[in-house]
Structure 1
């Protein structure tokens, strides 16, 4: 498959449509799936996937175009070697031209070669807050990624970075709204049962949260479900 020509009207239109699709997707999973699907159309790659950094520094694999990608990611999760780790840590594009000759990560390269992959391009998904993940592109052909492919992958990664950051921001906002609702319901229970005003009811929840080292949201949830505060 030929690489999209960014100088043509068709190429520009397809990237414009990508931006619309990403920012209009319904959530995190839809966003990253749109990224990897477009990668197959726009680049000379056989497989694509996205790995995201989640809470605690763990890696999550929300979207791949092929089970092979999940296997390649699994070879690097929990370790500190391989192009994925380098791209994530150093916030840079990492290119493996041919897994038969690249000697930087011989054990990893040998296992990836067994999966039929000859060349790899890992591109960091970076925002103002830092690196949020990596877009991984894979080909069964050696030396499949040249300067044109890198340029397109970089643009695609920029779109993906913004879309992923936006999706996470919206998710966090939704969780915050949900937490406020739960706390409000719990305060209502305390106010009715113990004839407290709003400030005092909130102070009771806050004190239980601190004393039990439990998130305020979880204290409220338990009170709503059991009608009792944590011991």
Structure 2
């Protein structure tokens, strides 16, 4: 997990390893997304994605509770589940009888949820819960690290683009660095466009976007 190149590769490694380490048929990861619905970047079967999206649309279910409260949620038998009757009926229809949702979290906060699914009842006992907890802790650190590295790469790329765009403006209009940056910033604000995108358009077209 820690050697994967990016976020998507990391979470795919998580779900693939979960199937090997635990006695379950399906696994998936939902990642917390600031200001929006959770992302579902990796599943081992379309069944998991369907279960996740059903809960997100309803705003309720074990995944939602796990993500919100950072607590492990165990459903030994979906036929006996009373907390989320609509969700239980949905997953039973997909052939799922046991569910274990484990939070992915670090000291900085919640990263996401690791979801594990079995076709039989009582698939996840104390030993499986312990293994899932350990896996989730490693996965959370790996995902958080991958996200930081990805954000850093994006930031470095953005800085390079802005620098190139500033160079074009400085040469064409005889501006200094501060003046060129202010021009880009003003266009970014006036067009409600990210500074990186304004810089990219200037580099590609050799002209500023129309306001």
- Name the SS for the 1:165 alignment partner: helix
> Please, which runs of 5 or more residues in structure 2 have no aligned partner?
none
Taking the TM superposition and a 5 Å limit, the aligned residue runs for 1:3-152 are 22-152=1-131
- Name the SS for the 2:56 alignment partner: coil
Offset of residue 56 of structure 1: 2.8
Equivalent residue for 1:163, pick from 142, 150, 153: 142
- Name the SS for the 1:144 alignment partner: coil
Question: In structure 2, what is the Cα distance between the partners aligned to 1:90 and 1:84?
Answer: 10
Question: In structure 2, what is the Cα distance between the partners aligned to 1:67 and 1:200?
Answer: 52
Taking the TM superposition and a 5 Å limit, the aligned residue runs for 1:211-226 are 211-226=190-205
* Residues matched between the structures, number: 210
TM (norm. structure 1) is: 0.87
Offset of residue 217 of structure 1: 1.1
Offset of residue 78 of structure 1: 2.5
Question: In structure 2, what is the Cα distance between the partners aligned to 1:55 and 1:141?
Answer: 35
- Name the SS for the 1:109 alignment partner: helix
Q: Structure 1 pair 123/105, CA: closer, same or farther in 2 (3 Å)?
A: same
> Please, which runs of 5 or more residues in structure 1 have no aligned partner?
1-21
Question: In structure 2, what is the Cα distance between the partners aligned to 1:36 and 1:207?
Answer: 45
Structure 1 residues 22-68: Cα deviation after superposition (integer angstroms, max 9, x where no partner): 11112112111111111111111111111112243222211111121
Question: In structure 1, what is the Cα distance between the partners aligned to 2:83 and 2:183?
Answer: 58
Question: In structure 2, what is the Cα distance between the partners aligned to 1:55 and 1:88?
Answer: 12
- Name the SS for the 2:81 alignment partner: coil
The runs of at least 4 aligned residues of structure 1 exceeding 3 Å deviation read none
Tell me what 2:154 maps to.
175
Question: In structure 1, what is the Cα distance between the partners aligned to 2:103 and 2:41?
Answer: 15
Offset of residue 213 of structure 1: 3.0
- Name the SS for the 1:138 alignment partner: strand
Structure 1 residues 124-152: Cα deviation after superposition (integer angstroms, max 9, x where no partner): 11122211210000111101111111111
- The CA RMSD measured in Å over matched residues stands at 1.3
